[in-house]
């Protein structure tokens, strides 16, 4: 891979629409960046593959793990798996020569050029965006937003910027290692975020992006007022151009939080409506009816969450059944059928 | 206190504004408090309904749910037994589905949610409808202009080029000029220009402006001096004009009142065949800037026509097609070199600031103006405005749409409707009336100005979100002696407030609502009421006749 800036995202086929939309946003704003999609899924037979054209390259997540992939991915549900591969993907991209790498989750929409962020990685090694950029005042807002950050992590890892320098590479190695377990370890898909609370202490060159135009989301609308100026700029807190917005809310009901904190600020609802239209019109193929490729055993039987948890809780299962998806005699599935039919 | 001697109009409005500003600066205003006694005192066997009745909007419920009467129950009983369970609303300001969805405890209780709100939820500060409900309903239903359904073809004769040429030739003999006027619809009173025939062309709207249809496909409804001819394609119209050749009158004028629905290729073809001596482009709307003729981003917010590659355009339903529109406009303006005709200097300034399209000249001609009535009537009333028996009479005029400012008026009504200090009215064509509690709905038949005078309206709320270059309603309101409450970007209404100093213009809809809830509206009206009401007349100008004749 040529040197330069790489922007990557990770997704399953169920997230093709937001991933495709993100890739197009990035192409519009930064055609010079290389766009890499990390697919944590297998496209169903017959699925229109033209969506791949939105990316310069699509990495199959399994290629990052080699033989251990099926053993690894079995321990995750779809959301956990899409998060779990980010560290290894980053490490691989930096290892291939990318000078700067940005991760964007598919739920992010980019509204402006990100040259300033790219420039900041000339000085900083690591860019992080906090859930909250300034203190809340109302008790409800503290409970909704600051308490959330304390629970799930100070920084939101739907965005990350890393420069290929010693500190950046050290962080990538650390993250990839932690994600071998972190994505599910403490019972949630967002525990790698909690690990990142340590990042400013563990690594040099960490910059916390305090620009309120970066990473606006339902969890920080209490302190970010969005308006559309007469000159057509979308501004945050009166003067900061909106750079990117995260339309997800994995911690609760995005609609309720958005309404609670956007109130009568019409621009927020215009953005949400635009997002719905963009996803509907992006032309992404509908995922196959079979669902996530790693959501079923090889014989087609669905994998229950409890069966995953049992497998990852006891390392002996991993040693005994290195390919837990396999069906037939002497497999994890056979074990469950014989001993834990309640998990099937 | 009233002035015995009436000062000249100009000094009078200055006095009013100065006195109002002083009153506000000195805090001589207060939010209304006295509520009117409930108009409904129905008694029900179920005591809970009797308690709920004063809050229930019978007029709204009956209008929105005409099927209730078949049940044999009255409106409130119907709502209590059936209505809320099928998510019907007891008042315009209470969204039953929203309240139940946002309050799982109420849903689980199985209680009438309106009852819960009035006697519990209100004190707890629970919300009764989503913020920006009207705007969000529009946002949820947005359809890209190119995907909108085409207008069904009218039941009119189809005219080929030969037939059209024959119809025209029969009428053109002896005419000095031909005015080809492109407009959204044929006006009730076409321009009368001595020696000219007016060929009125109204595109059958295939949804969007300057649609990229070939001239042979774009269809236009034609009327000649008010007489409907039929429907012809633009290609047929151009061919007919070509065929007429020397038979065409020596003076030919192209007037484009709006580009909404027009076909670029069709218009260019007609323009070439007409070989007009003058080409006029009217700023009756802003269709020469954007597909949203009132510059409403996403149909909900005035945008001012920013650069097409702006973030605002990027998230607007009209943003994507605006690039193609502007490319078409460039071709059209390069070719036609229009004289741009604006109803006000402010409209022309907005247009000039938003485009670099080439044009031959620009002129400002107001389509109508206020003038002293032959015998001005001074209507005087006793009592102080805002006191019992002399409410501040506030009106909304026209269709209840966001573009006309209805959501803002509805908020004012919701916040102030119960106060004796106010009386609210809605004047509109019968199909636009939306009966509701604390609102007097009046069907407009005849002269609006006379109705406003008869009902002694003090203020007209015109918080038009879209920019309206010319508002006949605003002029009618002023002529009736009412003042305007509007938004800075509403267009003509704001221009009139600025020029005539008759009313108030605000930056946001929240400011408009606050004007009423704070009582400042009453303070303003009291200062205004120190002088006899000025009744005027609206004098219309035939702009085309003025330009051509």
| ipTM of this complex prediction, to 2 decimal places | 0.92
| Residue of B472, B243, B493 lying closest to B367 (CA atoms) | B472
B323 touches chain A (CB under 8 A): no
User: What is the band of B2 on the pLDDT scale with cuts at 50, 70, 90?
Assistant: very low
Is B481 within 8 Å of B502 (Cβ atoms)? no
Check A264 against B310: CB less than 8 A apart. Answer: no
Task: Summarize the confidence of residues B404-425 as an average pLDDT.
Answer: 96
Cα separation, B357 vs A114, whole angstroms: 32
Show Cβ contacts of residue B211 under 8 Å, excluding neighbours closer than 6 positions: B218, B261, B262, B263, B264
What are all long-range contacts of A306-310, with beta carbons under 8 Å and residues at least 24 apart? A306/A343, A307/A336, A307/A340, A307/A343, A307/A344, A308/A74, A308/A75, A308/A76, A308/A77, A310/A340, A310/A343
| Residue B99: per-residue pLDDT | 96
Residues in chain A with CB shorter than 8 Å from the CB of B132 are: 264, 266, 269
Instruction: Write out the residues of chain A at the interface with chain B, using a CB-CB cutoff of 8 A.
Output: 111-112, 228-234, 241-242, 256, 259, 262-264, 266-267, 269-274, 277
Show Cβ contacts of residue B510 under 8 Å, excluding neighbours closer than 6 positions: A264
Task: Summarize the confidence of residues B113-126 as an average pLDDT.
Answer: 95
Q: What is the pLDDT of residues B28-39, one digit of tens each?
A: 999 999 998 876
User: What is the band of B374 on the pLDDT scale with cuts at 50, 70, 90?
Assistant: low
| Residue A1: per-residue pLDDT | 40
Q: Mean pLDDT check: name the lowest of A25-34, B1-10, B15-24, B104-113.
A: B1-10
Strand ranges (E), B234-297 = 251-256, 278-282, 296-297
B375-540 topology per CATH = Rossmann fold (3.40.50)
| Residue B173: per-residue pLDDT | 85
| Closest CA–CA distance from residue B303 to any residue of chain A (Å) | 6
Q: Is the pLDDT of residue B208 over 70?
A: no
| Residue of B386, B392, B488, B524 lying closest to B17 (CA atoms) | B524
Question: Per the confidence metrics, is the pTM higher than 0.90?
Answer: yes
| Residue B272: per-residue pLDDT | 95
Check B303 against A242: CB less than 8 A apart. Answer: no
Residues in chain B with CB shorter than 8 Å from the CB of A233 are: 310-312
CATH number assigned to the domain covering A5-211: 3.90.550.10
| Candidate from B132, B306, B317 with C-beta closest to A232 | B306
Check B131 against A259: CB less than 8 A apart. Answer: yes
A-B interface: how many C-beta pairs under 8 angstroms? Answer: 66
Nearest CA in chain A to B510: A264
| Residue B475: per-residue pLDDT | 96
Q: What is the mean pLDDT of chain B?
A: 91
What is the percent of chain B with per-residue pLDDT over 70, rounded to a whole number?
94
Burial track B78-93 (b if 16+ CB lie within 10 A, e otherwise): bbbeebbeeebbbbbb
| Residue A91: per-residue pLDDT | 97
| Residue B148: per-residue pLDDT | 81
User: What is the band of B282 on the pLDDT scale with cuts at 50, 70, 90?
Assistant: very high
| Residue B6: per-residue pLDDT | 54
Sole residue written with tokens 């699925």: A47
B51 touches chain A (CB under 8 A): no
| Candidate from A112, A233, A270 with C-beta closest to B139 | A270
Select from B99, B139, B303, B354 the residue whose CB has the most chain A CBs within 10 Å, as the one to mutate to test that interface: B139
- pLDDT, greater one: B291 or B374: B291
Cα separation, B299 vs B510, whole angstroms: 19
Is B46 within 8 Å of B112 (Cβ atoms)? no
Task: Summarize the confidence of residues B4-10 as an average pLDDT.
Answer: 60
| Residue B1: per-residue pLDDT | 37
Task: Summarize the confidence of residues B235-254 as an average pLDDT.
Answer: 94
**In the 3-class helix/strand/coil scheme, how is B17-77 assigned residue by residue?**
HHHHHHHHHCCCCCCCCCECCCCCCCCCCCHHHHHHHHHCCHHHHHHHCHHHHHHCCCHHH
Sole residue written with tokens 């969805």: B101
Cα B152-B155-B156 angle, rounded to 5 deg: 120
Q: Is the pLDDT of residue B22 over 60?
A: yes
| Closest CA–CA distance from residue A303 to any residue of chain B (Å) | 32
Check A233 against B310: CB less than 8 A apart. Answer: yes
Q: Mean pLDDT check: name the lowest of B56-60, B99-103, B122-126, B532-536.
A: B532-536
Q: Is the pLDDT of residue B3 over 50?
A: no
Select from B95, B310, B311, B487 the residue whose CB has the most chain A CBs within 10 Å, as the one to mutate to test that interface: B311
| Residue of A247, A251, A280, A17 lying closest to A111 (CA atoms) | A247
Check A270 against B131: CB less than 8 A apart. Answer: no
DSSP states along A241-302:
EP-EEE---TTS-HHHHHHHHHTT-HHHHHHHHHHHHHHHHS-PPPPPTT--GGGB-TTSPB
Say what angle helices B133-140 and A266-281 make with each other, to 10 degrees.
10
* Domain coordinates in residue numbering, chain B: 47-128, 161-368, 375-540
* Domain coordinates in residue numbering, chain A: 5-211, 296-343
**Spans of chain A below 50 pLDDT:** 1-2
| Residue A3: per-residue pLDDT | 62
| Closest CA–CA distance from residue A189 to any residue of chain B (Å) | 27
User: What is the band of B4 on the pLDDT scale with cuts at 50, 70, 90?
Assistant: very low
């Amino acid at each position: 891979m040529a040197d330069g800036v790489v922007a990557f995202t990770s997704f399953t086929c169920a997230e093709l629409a937001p991933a495709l939309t993100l890739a197009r946003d990035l192409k519009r704003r930064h055609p010079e960046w290389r766009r890499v999609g990390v697919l944590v899924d297998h496209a169903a037979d017959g699925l229109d593959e033209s969506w791949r054209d939105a990316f310069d390259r699509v990495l199959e997540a399994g290629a990052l793990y080699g033989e251990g992939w099926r053993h690894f991915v079995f321990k995750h549900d779809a959301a956990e798996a899409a998060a779990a591969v980010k560290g290894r993907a980053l490490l691989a991209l930096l290892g291939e020569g990318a000078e700067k790498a940005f991760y964007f989750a598919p739920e992010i929409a980019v509204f402006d050029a990100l040259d300033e962020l790219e420039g900041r990685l000339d000085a900083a090694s690591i860019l992080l965006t906090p859930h909250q950029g300034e203190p809340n005042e109302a008790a409800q807002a503290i409970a909704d937003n600051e308490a959330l950050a304390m629970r799930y992590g100070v920084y939101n890892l739907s965005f990350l910027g890393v420069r290929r320098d010693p500190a950046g590479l050290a962080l990538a190695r650390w993250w990839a290692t932690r994600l071998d377990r972190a994505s599910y370890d403490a019972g949630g898909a967002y525990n790698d975020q909690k690990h990142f609370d340590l990042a400013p202490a563990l690594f040099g060159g960490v910059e916390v992006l305090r620009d309120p135009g970066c990473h606006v989301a339902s969890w920080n609308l209490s302190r970010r007022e969005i308006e559309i100026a007469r000159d057509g700029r979308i501004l945050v807190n009166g003067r900061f151009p909106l750079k990117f917005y995260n339309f997800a809310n994995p911690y609760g009901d995005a609609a309720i939080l958005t309404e609670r904190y956007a109130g009568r600020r019409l621009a927020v609802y215009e953005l949400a409506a635009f997002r719905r239209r963009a996803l509907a019109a992006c032309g992404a193929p509908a995922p196959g009816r079979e669902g996530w490729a790693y959501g079923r055993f090889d014989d087609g039987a669905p994998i229950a969450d409890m069966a995953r948890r049992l497998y990852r809780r006891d390392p002996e299962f991993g040693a005994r059944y290195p390919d837990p998806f396999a069906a037939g005699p002497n497999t994890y599935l056979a074990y469950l059928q014989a001993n834990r039919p309640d998990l099937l | 206190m009233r002035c015995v001697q009436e000062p000249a109009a100009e000094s009078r409005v200055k006095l009013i504004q100065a006195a109002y500003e002083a009153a506000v600066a000195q805090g001589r205003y207060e939010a209304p408090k006295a509520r009117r006694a409930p108009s409904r005192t129905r008694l029900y066997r179920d005591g809970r309904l009797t308690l709920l009745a004063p809050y229930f909007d019978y007029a709204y419920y009956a209008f929105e749910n005409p099927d209730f009467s078949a049940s044999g129950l009255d409106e409130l009983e119907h709502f209590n037994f059936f209505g809320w369970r099928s998510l019907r609303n007891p008042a315009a300001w209470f969204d039953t589905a929203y309240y139940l969805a946002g309050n799982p405890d109420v849903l689980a209780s199985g209680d009438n949610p309106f009852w819960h709100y009035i006697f519990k939820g209100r004190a707890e500060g629970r919300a009764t409808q989503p913020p920006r409900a009207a705007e969000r309903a529009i946002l949820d239903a947005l359809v890209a202009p190119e995907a909108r359904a085409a207008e069904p073809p009218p039941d009119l004769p189809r005219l080929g080029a030969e037939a059209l040429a024959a119809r025209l030739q029969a009428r053109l003999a002896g005419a000095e000029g031909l005015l080809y006027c492109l407009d959204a619809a044929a006006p009730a009173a076409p321009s009368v220009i001595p020696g000219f025939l007016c060929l009125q062309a109204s595109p059958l709207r295939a949804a969007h402006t300057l649609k990229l249809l070939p001239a042979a496909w774009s269809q236009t409804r034609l009327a000649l001096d008010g007489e409907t001819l039929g429907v012809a394609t633009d290609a047929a119209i151009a061919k007919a004009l070509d065929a007429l050749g020397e038979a065409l009158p020596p003076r030919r004028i192209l007037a484009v009142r709006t580009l909404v629905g027009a076909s670029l290729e069709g218009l260019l073809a007609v323009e070439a065949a007409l070989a007009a001596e003058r080409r006029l482009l009217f700023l009756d709307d802003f269709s020469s800037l954007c597909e949203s003729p009132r510059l409403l981003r996403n149909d909900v917010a005035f945008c001012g026509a920013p650069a097409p590659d702006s973030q605002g355009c990027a998230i607007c339903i009209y943003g994507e097609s605006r690039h193609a529109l502007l490319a078409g406009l460039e071709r059209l303006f390069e070719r036609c070199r229009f004289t741009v005709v604006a109803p006000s200097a402010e409209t022309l300034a907005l247009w000039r600031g938003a485009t670099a399209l080439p044009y031959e000249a620009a002129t400002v001609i107001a389509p109508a103006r206020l003038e002293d009535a032959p015998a001005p009537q001074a209507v005087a009333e006793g009592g102080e405005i805002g006191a019992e028996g002399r409410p501040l009479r506030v009106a909304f005029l026209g269709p209840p749409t966001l573009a006309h400012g209805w959501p803002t008026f509805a908020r004012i009504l919701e916040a102030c409707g119960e106060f004796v200090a106010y009386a609210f009215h809605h004047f509109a064509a019968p199909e636009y009336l939306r009966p509701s509690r604390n609102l007097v709905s009046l069907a407009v038949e005849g002269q609006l100005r006379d109705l406003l005078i008869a009902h002694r309206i003090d203020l007209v709320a015109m918080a038009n979100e879209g920019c309206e270059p010319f508002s006949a309603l605003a002029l009618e309101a002023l002529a009736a002696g009412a003042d305007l409450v509007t938004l800075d970007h509403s267009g003509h209404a704001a221009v009139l407030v600025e020029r005539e100093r008759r009313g108030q213009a605000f930056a946001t809809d929240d400011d408009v609502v606050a004007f009423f809830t704070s009582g400042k509206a009453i303070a303003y009206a009291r200062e205004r009421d120190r002088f006899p009401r000025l009744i005027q007349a609206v004098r219309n100008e035939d702009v085309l006749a003025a330009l051509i004749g």
